[in-house]
Structure 1
């Protein structure tokens, strides 16, 4: 920045007492957002900012070090932050700076001309003035961005706290949840469902899961809130059965695996989460497949949404909830098959399951297994020899069907 001699700097400084008033009046006149805002505390802050800017500028031109550079910078950072907190864009403040620069430049040229400044000095003065405005504009922009970031961080912190309260077992007090929802700016819905989108074994990955949950919530759209809870990336989805909600969720997943819990009243959010988490773990282990992704998927399905819906897999969740009990069921009810070699055992298990799904329908079982009906009759004769009257007892058939499904999902010895 150009430097003036002390007498020249004094010539400019002499204009300052009235210049601040003229700049404030011009800002009120030319910047609509500030037409009514200059009263009270805000007007005092802006006036102080104008006075600091003018004195700082002349001090620097005169070669004097500003009294407190960090304090002066803080003034413009605070002005930028104040614009964000007031709900205005930064445009009004930057327009005010431009108006102030225009008025100050005009007065400085008049004072410089009276003081005998050379034309080159006046040009340098103009260049320095607008470079200075760019500098304080950048300082205010930094303040605006910092306040915006702080607000976003605080909002996300409150939403994380809300999600964790909703996921809490035993449930948090309703008044506590209502207060947290109000603080997070979230309307408690009549119904919600938990979405589980990731799980980490290491606690140090919580920040990563927080980010994943928050991004998924943003992609899903209005009302969704996400956070990491207990090493799980969770989104609480309001009105999960509303028009377009399922499609919005599938689109937001972008091919990633997720599980959707049942729709529940918000005080029961932990129940939905528990089911979604169980379904997610089974799907991640390859034991559940979204309908659109299975072998029978329609050829019209262009992509797999990778969304597992817990209510569509309740028997599997029931068995997985007590794996030791499921293993005992499979072991005890299928014990008659234990003495067979692996090949014959596999064929009889396949036939038993098809027959239990279609009792008495030999032709249908043969078509399902792609074998001759006589082969089915022969295998059924073997099964009757192994299981006896249990194949005719409805209760025993139910237990066998459940045992076969348990054997598909658990290892037992």
Structure 2
């Protein structure tokens, strides 16, 4: 922490500093009372151990100023060091207590005003001349600037440290959730991070370039996991409580960002949301995974689907590839449109007579099996994501 030397060559007469030092306990109490009265954040701050720490810091600060005023410039930095360090540690303590740096600076301004009034009165009583009083006033406010800067520095350092620590704790929760850690481990991690578990979490795979802007649009309790080996140039967000009608807001937020949004799941089961989003991502299906459920279901076991497709389309295997492809395409449309010839023709951009001709061929190949529910089910699944003909 950088420190500046107090910008004054003022030296108070010894008898004045002795009188001021005798008044310090009362001045410190007056400063504390004024801060309590005028800064709402400090109304209850002076109770308990933290209150004693703040009172001690006030007396140390006032004493440090008088010590500097008793010495020549060459010794000021050394004499001020304890007070500056005390101000720095006070700033750190205030950050830990949850009070803002603005509240702390307000306390300094009010405290400086009270201290100046009390100490200047002592100076006048002891015959300090006007020129020295003017220098004394400059010294008081320069000293307060030094202390304020030290406290703000301490507050910022503590806030940054606390933020890094909390982020590490939050990252740990996300890692536990997506790696399937035991429930007690995840719950303990949430308690350490003081993170209130939501009802649900939704996994969202986000390009790294979009993470910052998207985080501004979602719940503050959103967890983040980076550098996952299965994600390339992307991060994972676990967004709290966007189930039901709230999902629409999340989908609008990710629109145009090349994100993949899994389903909402009870927070301890969010791994399943991530797995679905990851499978959709692998298949190039971005956006809402719930809009791609048929394809995700049909491709859940690629090997089984390939075997089913081969068995279901076996009657076409002896045909030329081009012919087999057209018949598979027609059969798929016929199944999806429940045999409505005109609808099948419109879907395939062919004449209804072409559909009739092709279906005659298919009935010759399949026989009565096209009327068998189990065969129809197998063909519907086999052709569900495309009319691929057998090799």
Structure 2 length normalisation: TM-score?
0.78
Distance 1:408 1:12 in 2: 96
Superposition map of 1:235-274 within 5 A: 235-242=237-244, 244-274=245-275
Per the TM alignment, residue 357 of structure 1 is displaced from its structure 2 partner at its CA by 0.9
Structure 1 residues 369-406: Cα deviation after superposition (integer angstroms, max 9, x where no partner): 23321121123234345555544433233323322335
Residues 247, 142 of structure 1: alpha-carbon distance in 2 compared, 3 angstrom cutoff: farther
Residues 39, 274 of structure 1: alpha-carbon distance in 2 compared, 3 angstrom cutoff: closer
- Residues 260 and 289 in structure 2, CA contact (< 8 A), matched pair in contact too: yes
Q: Which runs of 5+ in 1 are unaligned?
A: 200-207, 290-305
- Residues 32 and 111 in structure 2, CA contact (< 8 A), matched pair in contact too: yes
RMSD between aligned alpha carbons? 3.7
1:142 aligned to 2:140? no
1:27 aligned to 2:32? yes
- Residues 57 and 132 in structure 1, CA contact (< 8 A), matched pair in contact too: yes
Per the TM alignment, residue 365 of structure 1 is displaced from its structure 2 partner at its CA by 0.9
Structure 1 residues 11-58: Cα deviation after superposition (integer angstroms, max 9, x where no partner): 446412313431322331453344554355334322332233234334
1:373 aligned to 2:352? yes
Distance 2:265 2:92 in 1: 41
Residues 405, 73 of structure 1: alpha-carbon distance in 2 compared, 3 angstrom cutoff: farther
Distance 2:256 2:326 in 1: 36
Residues 185, 37 of structure 1: alpha-carbon distance in 2 compared, 3 angstrom cutoff: closer
Superposition map of 1:7-406 within 5 A: 8=13, 11-12=16-17, 14-32=19-37, 33=40, 34=42, 37-61=45-69, 62-63=72-73, 64-67=75-78, 71-110=82-121, 119-169=130-180, 172=182, 174-189=183-198, 191-198=199-206, 212=211, 216=214, 219-221=217-219, 224-228=222-226, 230-231=228-229, 233-242=235-244, 244-282=245-283, 285=284, 288=285, 306-309=287-290, 312-334=291-313, 336=316, 339-340=319-320, 342=322, 346-405=325-384
Residues 281, 54 of structure 1: alpha-carbon distance in 2 compared, 3 angstrom cutoff: same
- Residues 116 and 140 in structure 2, CA contact (< 8 A), matched pair in contact too: yes
Q: Which residue of 1 aligns with 2:4?
A: none
Give the secondary structure class of the aligned counterpart of 1:405: coil
Between 1:252-261 and 1:222-231, the stretch displaced more is: 222-231
Give the secondary structure class of the aligned counterpart of 2:176: helix
Give the secondary structure class of the aligned counterpart of 1:247: helix
- Residues 80 and 141 in structure 1, CA contact (< 8 A), matched pair in contact too: yes
Per the TM alignment, residue 162 of structure 1 is displaced from its structure 2 partner at its CA by 2.2
Between 1:361-370 and 1:250-259, the stretch displaced more is: 250-259
1:3 aligned to 2:9? yes
Give the secondary structure class of the aligned counterpart of 2:104: helix
Distance 2:267 2:94 in 1: 37
Per the TM alignment, residue 355 of structure 1 is displaced from its structure 2 partner at its CA by 0.8
Give the secondary structure class of the aligned counterpart of 1:234: strand
Q: Which runs of 5+ in 2 are unaligned?
A: 1-6
Distance 2:56 2:249 in 1: 50
Q: Which has the higher contact order (CA 8 A, sep 6+)?
A: 2
Give the secondary structure class of the aligned counterpart of 1:53: helix
Between the two proteins, the alignment pairs up a number of residues equal to 374
Structure 1 length normalisation: TM-score?
0.75
